[in-house]
Structure 1
């Protein structure tokens, strides 16, 4: 097999020794099962592609597989020994018969002659990963069984080593051969990912799960923080979970790169067909020889541009950007001039413009203000025709956009028809029915077992007892209903302050540097009973107002007044940047508030759902929602009388948002928050402040009045 090793080392010079040994042993053990290069490619193709990091194309890998196939069968036609007594494999033939019985009983003969038989040179221990080898052998066995089957409906285990979301996530998927043949036609755009597992390190996120997405439906993926929703989206987008190749997938995960390209051009660039046609038009026009060939090519380019309605593309891109909050001036600005949040909006605009067959959105409302959220809801409902899979914490968004809900829990995904409210209702009824069924069966088993125990030794009822025993054995084994623990958040009680208000701004104006005022002559106040929500477009000055309230910046004119004993807790929308990722949650709290017993740190973390081993895990390993809970605990440890929250619902699941609302309502201090989450606003806010045109206006009609104002503005834009 030295020829085989040479081929592997020649074509993959940077291959790891263990991987090379693994490949060599798979080829050696499966030698008789490989009949053509497709057999080797199906077994090891993914490994070869991973070794080259995708540098070598599929056809090149198949050529290498062809070379390996030939090397496996070199010398098979040579059956006779060579002149020095060795066979084609290089092993020496014995000169005479070996009488093992005689050697064992009499120990006769020259033992040195037989030393090579009984005492071969000690081989080095195998460096091959036995688990990988077992998987490859199992795959070869499955393939042979499939060859023998009359119909190709056998399921094939596809293990993808090396294809990972990150250094810890991995997937294992089963593929139905019949479905693969259907998918190869390129006509069906439904997605079926069946019987797959996803692991993150040693934690199993999904086991034997099924994900079926019908083309044109909009799916909301819901589940608790840290359960693996974002990981699932990444595994779909990076190819770790295999879907038909003709289905285009786009995952809005990273912001666009900041460069000199304008926001509008950055969106138009993602239409590759249009960009290619325009480039060809420019090239042909530069020739200027007027030949018939050039003119014919130009006519073809213009026909293609007209067929794809390329002339309407700039207007469509501008409309999407405008809906996401970009003014005409902003659309002409270079992408490098935008902050990360705005560049994420450009990435979202690119996705909506390019219209992939499957669009994956992870918390799209985090980067948007209320106006942009309402526009996005309307756009997805009225204009989106392909498949959508979205993870969101915004209950209103989940009620408006999805046609179906996928419930991620207990290592599986359960589908539900309808929006989020319908899902909650159906799930509740389903759990009640399961509980009733389980309790009914337990009662039946109990009474039946009592009858069996009572008459087990009664000869007259022996046949009846036996029939009941068999009946119990045939009953399906039901498991008790697994209920998710209710999320509970709790802010500690604060010390009361005499007098009101506890915080006040009088005729305050503020501007950055020598520029014009961002806020002009605003007057407002808060007390311990305040439940104030601050709303407004992005860039209107909401965060600036919060910094004036907490005293981080000083007003240009006017006065800020605060109670002398007032302690303010501030939750920043960029709170994750303020956490020390290498520390565990307990260590982080101890670094912020040293000198307290460890039980107190644990107690405060427990009030926000970071309990048990979670408090000992590095913060970098926690999900976004769990990191937010750590930030809540840090804020609460100071026992503030006024809590100011800037976009606190980002990264939280729906249940935790509702738990946050309950915690705010039970808190005995004042609360001011900036949020675009309609559910939270409706739960807690008694006052609504609108930041607009450098002023802060109080809306008596609350959120309903604010939503009507937004819808009117959107209508005016149309």
Structure 2
């Protein structure tokens, strides 16, 4: 057994014995001796104080040697306790001090020995060493916190699940080939915040599930937990989660989609390799020829020859022109790379497809195509979307995240909404009936509590009340309200474009001879395919882009509130919502900032959280608050519904209808457009046309175009 005490005193001859005892005691702790760095962190500051001539490197070397002794298993796990004495009989402590003659002998007693002052450690030195340790630990903790804050990294989500051992054995043995998914009794938390507790998720093969719920409840986190393997799913089920854009390189877009079918890609590579070997060899190899024949059979079985056409149809449906399909992925913007990621997922056909807001990156034409495509999907889908029309068209079931639980409803979103309301009414009736029954019993108890003749009946009623389960009123989501501020009224046309022409490059004209105008009562929606120039038109209306020809007229008192599609990029992620408003609009009180945030549902503790920890919909609400701080009298909104939940979209529609100023918005949310907009501008062929018949007419035109293209 190696002796820590001898080793340390050998390295530090002048060390105080009390420090030796303290240090060796710490070294007996398995947590301290987990590594040489841990040993240095624990005892290094003490040893540095003992001998100032030794450098930090010298101390580290001593700690490395101590760790080597520990790793070799030479150090006893016994803590040094000093000399031991065996007692022959019990000792009465009081008798030890009765006789003065024994006082002199007490100095040798293990019970009454006083510490020799020469062995006492310097208290100032010990306090200084401990202060150094605390300072170093605080510095490391602060550094870790600062790094997380700078990177916008919060404590990641965690999941725990009760595993069915029977299913686990079946999965390991390969017997379980069912494609139904059952995740029982699981919890998900994000830091200290519990998102789901005791939840269960059942997905039947071939069904299409829409995951719905308020912003910030954990829908996206649930998808990430499933795709990352934190929640147990049978290993034979392939999962694909579309959440990140494709990395740009020299790969052609069409080829990138084809490569997502790993089986086909590997077979083609092996076929090419075998053909090269056989062509270079003068004499054929029977084994290689046989393998090549088998590869041809497999390629034929999976219809590999039809794959390029199928990939091209998917890309065309998502808006890729023939030129874009042949372009390298590095030439695509982030939005188009996200579409490419979606195309790869649709082409590879996983057993479980996880989609998070797939319509956010698509124009109306692509959304209609995707709805039609997913209606014939053969495997299981779990999709998070706040587009009511999309959920109605695609989903066979709805999974509702509410009160940290998951409830599944048959049917599309409209059926779910109706069923949920009926269920809530029934729960209210049941609650009222139960409350009335309990009140009736309580009245009897109160009336005859002191009646001796009814004592037994009262006791019986009391026991009955105790056995009844706790009575809780049925839960209901709080109503969402958005409220835009009152604004100054302006007369006549306040925003107008006359014979406007615009281009970034003379060889590619974007707009030519555009005439349009808006006033304080305007409720206009701009639609068109991606790349047609919708966002460019908004920037011309804002005055950010100047027409290359023609004139933009704007009222001198016009104040435009602009909601950017990529508003998240414009928010300081490390600040709280209150701090963000204070930085942008200084000079007001915290109560005023809270009041503005409260108009958009960012209340209480939400307003004191870092923006990075908020959900996409909550960040949108903060962006609305920032937009309204200038008290605008005209709104230009670019895709305001992205990330908003159903209830907030409804509240946004009501708020825009009540707003006293004008509104121009770009959106593909059918419900919001029908709620708010009275005029439809279609951007196409370098023109901006006002369409009679509104959104229904535009949707009809798009469906006819898709049908003509065979998509």
With the shorter chain as reference, the TM-score category is: 0.7 to 0.9
Does residue 1:669 correspond to 2:669, yes or no?
no
Q: Report how far residue 481 of structure 1 moved.
A: 1.8
Aligned to 1:284: 274
Contact 2:28/2:79 (<8 A) preserved: no
Counterpart of 2:622 in 1: which secondary structure?
A: helix
Residue from 426, 437, 453 that aligns with 2:446: 453
Aligned to 1:180: 168
Alignment of 1:465-480 (within 5 A): 465-480=458-473
Tell me the distance in 2 between the aligned counterparts of 1:554 and 1:606. 36
From the superposition, tell whether residues 521 and 585 of structure 1 become closer, same or farther in structure 2 (CA, over 3 Å).
same
User: Which 5+ residue runs of structure 2 have no aligned equivalent?
Assistant: 3-26, 35-70, 97-101, 116-152
Q: Report how far residue 577 of structure 1 moved.
A: 0.7
Aligned to 1:607: 599
Alignment of 1:557-576 (within 5 A): 557-576=549-568
Tell me the distance in 2 between the aligned counterparts of 1:523 and 1:380. 39
Does residue 1:626 correspond to 2:618, yes or no?
yes
Does residue 1:264 correspond to 2:257, yes or no?
no
From the superposition, tell whether residues 258 and 23 of structure 1 become closer, same or farther in structure 2 (CA, over 3 Å).
farther
Aligned to 1:416: 409
Counterpart of 2:479 in 1: which secondary structure?
A: coil
Q: Report how far residue 452 of structure 1 moved.
A: 1.1
Tell me the distance in 1 between the aligned counterparts of 2:697 and 2:480. 31
Q: Report how far residue 459 of structure 1 moved.
A: 2.9
Tell me the distance in 1 between the aligned counterparts of 2:306 and 2:94. 96
Tell me the distance in 2 between the aligned counterparts of 1:268 and 1:106. 94
Alignment of 1:521-536 (within 5 A): 521-536=513-528
CA RMSD of aligned residues (A): 3.3
Aligned to 1:299: 293
Once the two structures are superposed, residues 656-695 of structure 1 have per-residue CA deviations (whole angstroms, 9 ceiling, x without a partner) of: 1111000000001000000011110111110011111111
Aligned to 2:652: 660
Contact 1:529/1:668 (<8 A) preserved: yes
Tell me the distance in 2 between the aligned counterparts of 1:516 and 1:508. 15
Aligned to 1:55: none
Tell me the distance in 1 between the aligned counterparts of 2:255 and 2:168. 38
Contact 2:535/2:638 (<8 A) preserved: yes
**Which deviates more from structure 2 when the two are superposed, residues 401-410 or residues 583-592?**
583-592
Q: Report how far residue 409 of structure 1 moved.
A: 1.4
Q: Report how far residue 476 of structure 1 moved.
A: 2.2
Aligned to 1:508: 500
Q: Report how far residue 513 of structure 1 moved.
A: 2.8
Does residue 1:308 correspond to 2:302, yes or no?
yes
Counterpart of 1:517 in 2: which secondary structure?
A: strand
Aligned to 2:360: 366
Residue from 330, 340, 346 that aligns with 2:340: 346
Tell me the distance in 2 between the aligned counterparts of 1:492 and 1:662. 14
Aligned to 1:519: 511
Residue from 490, 497, 500 that aligns with 1:497: 490
From the superposition, tell whether residues 218 and 166 of structure 1 become closer, same or farther in structure 2 (CA, over 3 Å).
farther
Tell me the distance in 2 between the aligned counterparts of 1:322 and 1:428. 40
Tell me the distance in 1 between the aligned counterparts of 2:607 and 2:501. 43
Tell me the distance in 1 between the aligned counterparts of 2:28 and 2:363. 52
Tell me the distance in 1 between the aligned counterparts of 2:699 and 2:561. 29
Q: Report how far residue 21 of structure 1 moved.
A: 4.3
Tell me the distance in 2 between the aligned counterparts of 1:643 and 1:402. 34
How many correspondences in the alignment?
A: 604
Aligned to 1:65: none
Tell me the distance in 1 between the aligned counterparts of 2:106 and 2:185. 61
**Which deviates more from structure 2 when the two are superposed, residues 312-321 or residues 613-622?**
613-622
Does residue 1:202 correspond to 2:192, yes or no?
yes
Tell me the distance in 2 between the aligned counterparts of 1:225 and 1:392. 11
Q: Report how far residue 178 of structure 1 moved.
A: 2.2
**Which deviates more from structure 2 when the two are superposed, residues 280-289 or residues 542-551?**
280-289
Contact 1:182/1:188 (<8 A) preserved: no
Does residue 1:589 correspond to 2:581, yes or no?
yes
Q: Report how far residue 112 of structure 1 moved.
A: 8.3
Counterpart of 2:538 in 1: which secondary structure?
A: helix
Residue from 434, 437, 450 that aligns with 1:444: 437
**Which deviates more from structure 2 when the two are superposed, residues 265-274 or residues 476-485?**
476-485
Contact 1:501/1:527 (<8 A) preserved: yes
User: Which 5+ residue runs of structure 1 have no aligned equivalent?
Assistant: 3-16, 25-70, 75-86, 120-164
Q: Report how far residue 562 of structure 1 moved.
A: 1.1
Tell me the distance in 2 between the aligned counterparts of 1:587 and 1:320. 45
Q: Report how far residue 599 of structure 1 moved.
A: 2.7
Tell me the distance in 2 between the aligned counterparts of 1:617 and 1:89. 48
Counterpart of 2:505 in 1: which secondary structure?
A: coil
Compare CA radii of gyration and give the structure with the larger one: 2
Does residue 1:170 correspond to 2:150, yes or no?
no
**Which deviates more from structure 2 when the two are superposed, residues 447-456 or residues 356-365?**
447-456
Contact 2:496/2:518 (<8 A) preserved: yes
Tell me the distance in 1 between the aligned counterparts of 2:695 and 2:686. 20
Q: Report how far residue 305 of structure 1 moved.
A: 1.1
Once the two structures are superposed, residues 72-114 of structure 1 have per-residue CA deviations (whole angstroms, 9 ceiling, x without a partner) of: xx9xxxxxxxxxxxx999999x999864636879889999898
Counterpart of 1:441 in 2: which secondary structure?
A: helix
Q: Report how far residue 254 of structure 1 moved.
A: 0.4
From the superposition, tell whether residues 321 and 459 of structure 1 become closer, same or farther in structure 2 (CA, over 3 Å).
same
From the superposition, tell whether residues 641 and 473 of structure 1 become closer, same or farther in structure 2 (CA, over 3 Å).
same
Aligned to 2:643: 651
Contact 2:576/2:608 (<8 A) preserved: yes
Provide the TM-score with structure 2 as the length reference.
Answer: 0.79
From the superposition, tell whether residues 668 and 269 of structure 1 become closer, same or farther in structure 2 (CA, over 3 Å).
same
Provide the TM-score with structure 1 as the length reference.
Answer: 0.78
Contact 1:393/1:654 (<8 A) preserved: yes
Does residue 1:101 correspond to 2:90, yes or no?
yes
From the superposition, tell whether residues 18 and 667 of structure 1 become closer, same or farther in structure 2 (CA, over 3 Å).
farther
Tell me the distance in 1 between the aligned counterparts of 2:581 and 2:460. 63
Q: Report how far residue 456 of structure 1 moved.
A: 2.2
Counterpart of 2:499 in 1: which secondary structure?
A: strand
